[in-house]
Structure 1
Amino acid sequence: MSDGRTTSPTFADVNRDVLRTLDPPGNLYFAWMCVVALLLAGFFAAWAGQVWWGMGMAGKRVPQMWAMYITTFVFWIGIGHAGTLISAILYLFRARWRTSIYRAAEAMTIFAVMTAGLFPLIHAGRMWFAYFLLPYPNQRDLWPNFRSPLVWDVFAISTYLSISTVFFIVGLVPDIAALRDASRGWRRRIYAMLALGWEGADTQWRHYRRAYGLLASLATPLVLSVHSVVSWDFAMALVPGWHSTLFAPFFVDGAIFSGFAMVLILALPMRHFFRLHAYIQEKHLDAMGKLILVTGLVLTYFYLCEIFTSLYSGEHIEKASLFWKVTANYAWALWTMYFCNCVAPLVLFWRRARTSPVVLYIVSILVLIGMWFERFNIIVPSLGHDFYPYTWGIYYPSPTDTMIVIGSFSFFFLLFLGFIKVMPSLSIVEVKETIPPPVRDRAHGH
């Protein structure tokens, strides 16, 4: 058990250990919240300065008008993919090891997509006109340009967020009922309202399983479709290195790769500080390590395909763009990406590394760094070395956009830190399904 016992946990142990994570937080939790809140204050200050003085504060210059904002937008959309994969696809395939980590992965999906949704608003400059992107009847007879990738992103975010949120809430209902039964006073009244009258009756379980399976089936295509739509933001443009049919699977694999790394970033501290070793075991770490290794190897294959296509195509501009990325101003970012995404995960070939929380945590951090730089290398160097030499330019990050990017991480972690103290971070119901049911008088052989 998580408190030092070696026997298999019982149903009562699961209730107690999971509900214990909702106890009043200690000093370390508040210290982290203070750090996150401080960074978030810097985020809003930088955003307010950008609104007041204009987009020039973010270093936006021709030709790199997208730069770090769209880089971070694609990064956060990708982070959310692992949550849908774990909660939906692995549920349909009945992968039992997902039960201890899927709740944190689902919460990660919601918060990552919410964070990504900030960047179209930030990049629009005057975010109070963001509703212009929505197709609705209006007196101006104006409609969004459906050929604009920005409009595609609006539909991708709204679809992904709505399905993922409903899926997340449905899965929470039985656990909220357990919280209701264990709470008193005003907390009990709030949890009773959120539990939607759940009593655990047979008919409720039948409806719950049908609804959960249906939502899992609806969410599964989103793993492929949403990030494919995001990849078309680039693949539909005639820019060297972008106009490629490789982008859709390339983006989907990279999204799952970075998403699993973020799941480990969140799950490993929870396992340590909440003493959940009995539920997040070595087999869970091993499975996550294998998935990171496999998706990393597939990503390496895509990198090689990208290089081969540029060299074999006979297009001088493609070759020149690739050579410029490898050797010129942004070469450091490209080689950082290759090391973090291709070399660092190779240590996970060894089982001892896959079951070591320290090694997994370090590799996961490197993967997230590498995946952010992958999006950076797709966007900034390609725009900086286009077809026409007179449009070439170098992008230099400004304090404003750097603070906004850092602040987006604080926004995400603030949401997650708040979540783990008001809702169960492990699924009580599904964890119980993986342990033997209680048998009366088992010790006496009856």
Structure 2
Amino acid sequence: MAKISEMTQLSPTMSEGVLVKWLKKKGDSVGPGEILAEVETDKAVMEMEAFDSGVLLEIIAPEGAKLPVGAPVAIIGKAGEDITALLAEAKSRSTANVSTPAPVSSPSPAPSSIKKPDPETVAAAPSPSIEVEEPTPRESSVSRGLSSSALEGRIKASPLAKRLAEESGLDLSRVRGSGPDGRILKRDIENGISSAGISSSPFASANIQEEKLPISGMRKTIASRLVHSKTHQPHFYLDMEIDAEPLVHLRENFNSDLKESGEEIKLSLNDFIIRASALALLKVPEVNSSWREDHILKHGRVDIGVAVSIEGGLITPYVRNADKRSVLEIGKTVKELASRARERKLKPEEFSDGTFTVSNLGMFGIDRFAAVINEPEAAILAIGNVVSKPVVKNGAVVPGKTLSVCLSCDHRVVDGAVGAGWLEVFRNFLEHPLRLLA
């Protein structure tokens, strides 16, 4: 008996997906576990499997369609089977569900017997021999409600003329309008600028237009999760400055040794930071916890997320059991996860259910910042740039390198003293980085 195949929930946070590509075509035989199509979820492009055996009798959802979980996408059954009723059912269900990107339309112009050009287009094009500018709908309606005496003290000018006058610093009251009823037009402003010897703004003719950008599934999920986190998790922030010179030197020597031994990988400071975070979580396990409404769950594992910027948003793959991995293992794992994250090829289990997150913006030149906690974790560590500046050592001012970090904490789980204790342990590891190689 034929059945309707539906959009499958391919990740824990997925509520809708975009059908990127059909891998089966109408008439193909399919079986349970075979890949029907590729679907873009809120986090990655994933494979949607078939759950029934038979023939792909009909493809309901076209490529590019955005559908909620549970929406009909295809019909699978026996060859030659009558699916008229199922098609009708699928059509009625999909009418309200399927959405495809639609072009953004501009507001309709006011009715007029004269076709008038877009003011922005006029500004960007060479001056035409004839200029047509008419009152905006708002101006027309206001004017109709005013007496002639009330209009006498009001400067009448087209929106474009007003904008050009403002940008050039020209006083509209000194400009004589050549339009209907003395209305000031673009050409009047240009003549006024020329007469007054005012230099026209280089941006006056810029064709800058408003644009409505579609919201991707990933951006919707990011927005929803971050709003929920900031609303429901009482954040507080702890800043600390760390002597980064020992860590910088160790990394340089470590990478030099790796190069001589033939290793192709080059470790980043973030790899050492992840290792230090994992070891600090072992020593202060209260930070490696989550709020569970009726209890606090102290995790029996250390899975550290690494915030990775990808096209359209942000994703956090996790280094599992980071406390049991060497710095070199962490470096290789992070590089591989980040690469697949940018290709949208991560599996759901690779970017969910972590215990702590590190977000590093140092490579973008950011000295310090505070991050939003990745719920349901209880803390996130924000890493800034290594800064070269004078520091005091042994009572003397000497050149040094510092690293600013900020620990965002969920106050329901982590108190100030606990968070400060974790940061102190973390700092000791970074300022004595050979301990990270043990």
Structure 1 length-normalised TM? 0.20
Higher strand proportion (structure 1 or 2): 2
Higher helix proportion (structure 1 or 2): 1
- Which of 1 and 2 has higher RCO (CA within 8 Å, sep 6+)? 1
Pair member with larger Rg:
2
